[in-house]
Amino acid sequence: MYTEAVMDHFYNPRNAGELADADGVGEAGNPVCGDIMKIYVKIEDDRIADISFQTFGCGAAIATSSILTELVKGKTVAEAEKITNRAVAEALGGLPPQKMHCSNLAADAFHKALEAYRQNRPKPAPAAE
């Protein structure tokens, strides 16, 4: 049912836990299945310097959160923004159809974290005339 990659990321999740000094935090959940994901991002020089997650959910939810962090860590914000739910699922070698919503949640939470980062960062001072 699950690929070897899904099982590896479930049993050995990467970048799990809270990131205390995050520049942005995004959360996504599905009340029907009960999965809830929180993604934390730290941005330095327009790159994803650090990223972590907290996920309450099934094995697929944990695996998609874990692989997402590996896919975007070190990328520029512009590169990372292009990560889709399909890319998350493909990086795991696919997910059963009934678990595809898990990859949607990981990507959704990540994009919400980037949006929170944009809203939280200081605005540049207007240019002097």
Looking at the annotation, which residues are catalytic? 33, 102
DSSP letter for each residue of 42-60: EEETTEEEEEEEEEES-HH
CB atoms within 10 A of CB 30: 16
Burial readout 63-92 (b: 16 or more C-beta within 10 A, e: otherwise): bbbbbbbebbbebeeeebeebebeebbebb
Radius of gyration of the chain, Cα coordinates, nearest whole angstrom: 15
